[in-house]
Amino acid sequence: MQHLLDEKWIEIDVDAIKQNLESINALVDERVRLIAVVKADAYGHGAANIARILYQNGVDFFAVTFLHEAMVLRKAGIRSSVMVFSPLIEQEQVKQAIDNHFTLTVSSLYDSQLIDEVSRHLKQAVTVHLKLDTGLGRFGLKPEELSEICQSLKENPHIYIEGIYTHMAEAASSDASFTEKQFDLFMTTVSNLEKNGYKIPVSIVPTALFS
């Protein structure tokens, strides 16, 4: 049995990854910034190596689920922007993230308060993205919470609200009705924030690079 396990390997077609990237770039406006999600070891492809390949082909922003995944990229020499999707729950985690210049997710009042507290203590800048719940119901800010959260974060000179995103869980479904509902809510929420004086530079619509 061990002999069989030792003989297993995965062969990655680098040209196919480059072609996937080219196909996505061809579909979006040149002003759109692509964030490559390389969570779960780039879906088994090898996060550090895939990030290097994508960086060499014009990608300068990456995203992962957990803090330890982001640290893998930093330790591999990836100096580009790296966003952590999962909320951090301990002060030491936030400190480590800020020290390594990771972009953090704010998905609750607790997240915003913790990041606010640690960044003020460290007197260090931190970039955050707001996670909006548009119907999945797993985690994320409700539309009615956003103005209060934005106001609170804006009062901290160390925090930069760079982006806002949501999770469109059924985007690949043949029935687009739920995704369209999510998209409408997302765009309406972003518009309402702008009307209230909170213009967020990056609004993210998720798309898959690996399939």
d(CA 17, CA 22): 9
Which one-letter amino acid corresponds to residue 101?
A: H
Three-state SS at 69: helix
Q: Residue 31: inside a domain, yes or no? A: yes
Q: Residue 55: inside a domain, yes or no? A: yes
Q: Are 64 and 84 in contact (CB under 8 A)?
A: yes
Q: Residue 211: inside a domain, yes or no? A: no
Q: Residue 209: inside a domain, yes or no? A: no
Domains: count for the chain: 1
Q: Residue 88: inside a domain, yes or no? A: yes
Residue-wise pLDDT for 175-209, tens only, equals 889 989 999 999 999 999 999 999 999 876 554 44
Q: Residue 26: inside a domain, yes or no? A: yes
The dihedral through the CA atoms of 147, 151, 152, 158 has a sign that is positive
CATH of the domain at 199: 3.20.20.10
d(CA 179, CA 60): 28
Which pTM was predicted?
0.88
Q: Which domain holds residue 13?
A: 2-204
Q: Residue 210: inside a domain, yes or no? A: no
pLDDT bin (cut points 50, 70, 90) of residue 90 is very high
Q: Residue 127: inside a domain, yes or no? A: yes
pLDDT bin (cut points 50, 70, 90) of residue 172 is confident
